[in-house]
Amino acid sequence: MSSPAPARAGISIIGAGPGGLTCARILQQRGIAVTVHDRDEGPDARDQGGTLDLHADNGQVALREAGLLDEFLELARAEGQEMRLMEPTGRIAFHKVPQDGELLKPEIDRGRLRSLLLDSLQPGTVRWGRALDTISGPADGPRRLHFADGTTVETDLVIGADGAFSRVRPAVSPAVPAYTGVSFLEAWFSDVENRHPEIAELVGQGSAAAADGDRGLFAQRNSGDHIRVYIIRRVPVDWISASALTPDDTDGIRAALLHEYAHWSPRMRRMIADNEGRYVDRPLFALPVPHTWEHNPTVTLLGDAAHLMPPLGVGVNLAMLDACELALALANAATVDDAVRTYEKTMLPRSVETATILEHGAEHLLSADLPDFDDDSRP
């Protein structure tokens, strides 16, 4: 089968995260039809996670191409660029406060970014409750998407924007994510100025980090007077069950954590013990480095589906840059095949280079050494 022109092709994006939605928005802005399929039952089906910073040289570039940069800057929190590095005693060892008008890495809650992108799409673009099961059909197309609800869709291009455990990835690559040996345990705090004033003071308006070489904490101010704290430890992936605990045993997990962090100051341990509700276990996975694949004219990947790395500040930014470049390639190419080749020629070397730099980056989250806060080495 000859590859169709993008304007006449059926284009299916799997995953309604920032990468998939950015790609859809830019395609629609350039008159190319696209459908996004997502496993969630709706846009509010689950918590979208904490805050993230969109960088001027990638994430913001994508939003500019999408015609959404001004709206993003109205929603973003420039004060969220404040960063603190603390010792386990609570002493601030390094403090960066953004200058007036600085917009290199403003923060935005993931949920607000997703809403911004969703609201920019044509009605009906996203098909909710569509969990992809498998992909069939010849490599030169057309492809058939098989969903868990028994429905199928024929398409000319499948774009895998479905994250770490992508169901699209097996169509081009046998690679699977591996556990890095480091895990996050997420704790939530709300109405912090009133209910948790000491934690609010410790964290400030942006982010705060501390580590002792074996364990660490990373706290982020979110909008709406919320703070999320990530308790970072080098543990087995099944550490909860191996400790004879369950994810719902909040008191038991809290007691174990306080024992591990017993030598940290009482002020710092408030970020471990004063959380509201249960802890959320988030083990860190990464794809092998390098991760590449043979060109396929009907399937490609972007974001974590293509290059899952430790959470060191580049994931969403790279996903949105991928999405932007793929959408522009489709808008400017004679065929879908040509567009995918053009996109992967740039994306794959970039992702390999970045993944190589960050390959063991999860261990850096535990380092007590003072990092360079001007690089991307933070969650």
- Residue 186 belongs to domain with CATH number: 3.30.9.30
- pLDDT by residue (tens digit) across 100-120? 999 999 999 999 999 999 999
Q: Are residues 193 and 312 in the same domain?
A: no
Q: Are residues 42 and 158 in the same domain?
A: yes
Residue 158: predicted pLDDT: 98
Query: Predicted confidence band at 370 (pLDDT cuts at 50, 70, 90)?
Result: low
In terms of pTM, does the model score above 0.85?
yes
Q: Give the residue among 280, 296, 211 at the shortest CA–CA distance from 248.
A: 280
Six token digits for residue 29: 């802005």
Q: Are residues 236 and 252 in the same domain?
A: yes
Burial pattern 21-60, b for ≥16 Cβ within 10 A else e, equals bbbbbbbbeeebebbbbbbbeebeeeebbbbbbbbeebbb
- pLDDT by residue (tens digit) across 30-77? 999 999 999 999 988 887 788 999 999 999 999 999 999 999 999 999
From 284, 302, 318, the end of a domain falls on: 284
- The CATH number of residue 21's host domain is 3.50.50.60
- Domain range for 68 is 6-80+102-176+287-361
From 221, 253, 284, the end of a domain falls on: 284
Number of domains in the chain: 2
Q: Are residues 115 and 227 in the same domain?
A: no
Q: Are residues 55 and 155 in the same domain?
A: yes
Residue 47: predicted pLDDT: 78
Residue 371: predicted pLDDT: 52
